[in-house]
Structure 1
Amino acid sequence: MSELLKQRLQQRLGYEFRAPAQLDLALTHRSHGAHNNERLEFLGDSILNFIVGEALFRRFPEAREGQLSRLRSQMVKGETLAEIAREFEVGECLRLGEGEMKSGGHRRDSILADTLEALIGAIYLESGFTVCAERVNAWYQKRLEALSLEQPAKDAKTRLQEFMQAHKLPLPEYEVVEIEGEAHAHRFTIECRVDSLKESARARANSRRVAEKEAAAEVLEKLQKLELSPKGKRLTP
C-alpha cells in the first residue's frame, strides 16, 4: 500500500494517525499474518456500540429502549459499516493475504466492516474517547439525521418482496446492467423490474446490494402510489 493511498484514506476519515504503524495494523486482515487487526476490531466494536447508542439516546429522548435498540442495530450492522467503509474507499488500502486478494476480499462486506471497526479501535487507542467519538459521529451524521422512530426496520428489498407477496404478484427481478470502475472501486448499476409497472427502476452505488435496495425503494414507492390511485386495482392479477 502506497503512502499516497494511506494519506488519502486519512483525509477521508478526517483523522491523521501520529503512529503510521497503528494505521497499518488496523488495515491488516488476519489472512495477511498473525499480526493483524482482530484485537482492534474487538475494541472498535464495543466503542462503536456505545457511541452510536449515546447519539441515539440524545437524539430521541422520547424513545423506548426497544426502539433505541432497533435503531442501534440498524446503524452498527455489518452492512452499514461496509457502506461507510466503501465511502472511504477502505478496500483499496487493505492488507490481505494472497488468497483473499485473489478472491476479491477487498470488496467483501465482512472484511470492510471489520476493518472500519479496527480503525475506530485504533483511533481510540491513539487519541482517546472524545476524539474517537467526534470522528464516528461525523461519519454517521447523515445516517443519524435520516432516522425516525417510525422508520421501518426492514430494508426496501424485503418490504418490496412482502408487498408483492401480499398482492399475490410475481417477485421482483434484479439485473446488473453495468459495472464501472477499477476492480477495487466498482460501481454497480442495478435494474429492478416488476410485472405491475411498465417502467423499471435503476440505481447506481458502490455496492451491488446497496444499489438493489435503492432500486427496490423506488419501485416500492411507485407501486404504493399506484395502489392508492383510482387504478389501484391493476395491482391484483
Structure 2
Amino acid sequence: MNHSEIRRKERLAEVREFAEENQIPVQNIQLLNTALTHTSYANEHKNEVIHDNERLEFLGDAVLDLVVGEYLFLRFPSWPEGELTRAKASAVCKPACAECAAKFQVGKYMRLGKGEELSGGRTRISILGDAFEAVIGAIYLDNNYEVAARFILGHLKKFLDLIDQGDYDHDYKSDLQELAQKHGDVDIRYDVVRDEGPDHDKTIWMKIMINGKDFGTGVGKNKKEAAQKAAKEAIERIHKGERF
C-alpha cells in the first residue's frame, strides 16, 4: 500500500470519527469528506482527483432555506411574508451557520490549503459557515430531507428559540412602512435631534415624524440603531390606537 493510499484511509477514518461524534448517519463517507474539503485544498492537489465542497454548499444552502422557511411558516401562521423573511435571514446567516459549525468542530476536520491553514482558516466565519451548508448538502444527498431537517433544526435551536422570543434583528423601519401604507400615503421622517460623546463612542437621539406628528424617539450608538428604535416606538403607539 503506497503513501497516498494510506493517507486516504486515514482521512476517511477521520471523517467517520467526525460523523460518529456528531451522530451523522453515513452511507457514502466520500460525500461527507467532500463537504469538509475547502477549495484551497483541492487547488493545491490538482494532480489528484479531489472535489471541493462548493457544489455541496450550494445544495445545502437551498435545503437550509427550505427547512427553516417551512419551520417558520408552520410555527408563525399569522406572520406576513416580510417578517418571515427577516426571521429566516437571522437564523440562516453566515455567522449563525459558522457558530453551529464551530460547536461540532468542523474546523478541526476541514481539509485546507496551506495558505488558508496559516491565515486562520479553521476559525474563519466564511469557511465554517460554508462548510456547515456543505455538510447539510451531504446529509441530504446521503440520507433524505427528514434526516437533514432534524440535523438543521437541532443545530439551529438557539437561533430559532431567539425568534420565538422575538429577540432577533427585526427591521422595524420596514415594518412601520408596511403598517403606515395601509392608511394611504404617509410622510415618515427621521431626524437626529442630538448626539453626545466622541466619534468612537457616540450616542444619538433620533426623532420620528409621521405626517408632521411626533411619534417617538430612539436612542442608539449610531443612526441606524436609533432609527430602528424610533420606528419600534412608533409601531407600538400605532398599535395602541394613536393616529397620524
- Shorter chain as denominator, the TM-score bin is 0.5 to 0.7
What is the CA–CA distance in structure 1 between the aligned matches of 2:137 and 2:20, rounded to whole Å? 18
1:42 to 53, 58, 75: 58
Aligned AA (2:30): A
Deviations 1:30-64 (A, max 9, x none): 00115111100000001100101111111111211
Cα distance change on mapping 1:166 and 1:7 into 2, 3 Å: farther
Greater CA drift, 57-66 or 107-116: 57-66
Greater CA drift, 108-117 or 127-136: 127-136
| Identical-pair percentage | 38
Tell me if structure 2 keeps the 8 A contact 1:13–1:135: no
What is the TM-score normalised by the length of structure 2? 0.61
Match of 1:106 in 2: 122
Cα distance change on mapping 1:49 and 1:16 into 2, 3 Å: same
2:93 to 77, 83, 95: 77
Which ranges of structure 2 fall in alignment gaps of 5 or more residues?
Answer: 1-9, 44-50, 171-192, 203-244
Aligned AA (2:169): A
Count residues with an aligned counterpart.
167
Following TM superposition, by how much is the alpha carbon of 1:28 offset from its aligned partner in structure 2, in angstroms? 0.3
Following TM superposition, by how much is the alpha carbon of 1:21 offset from its aligned partner in structure 2, in angstroms? 1.2
Following TM superposition, by how much is the alpha carbon of 1:170 offset from its aligned partner in structure 2, in angstroms? 4.4
Aligned AA (1:24): N
Following TM superposition, by how much is the alpha carbon of 1:133 offset from its aligned partner in structure 2, in angstroms? 0.9
Tell me if structure 2 keeps the 8 A contact 1:56–1:72: yes
1:14 to 23, 35, 49: 23
Following TM superposition, by how much is the alpha carbon of 1:149 offset from its aligned partner in structure 2, in angstroms? 7.3
Larger Rg computed on CA atoms: 2
Following TM superposition, by how much is the alpha carbon of 1:9 offset from its aligned partner in structure 2, in angstroms? 2.8
Secondary structure at the aligned position of 1:95 is classed as: coil
Which ranges of structure 1 fall in alignment gaps of 5 or more residues?
Answer: 155-164, 174-193, 195-237
Tell me if structure 2 keeps the 8 A contact 1:44–1:118: yes
Tell me if structure 2 keeps the 8 A contact 1:14–1:135: no
What is the TM-score normalised by the length of structure 1? 0.62
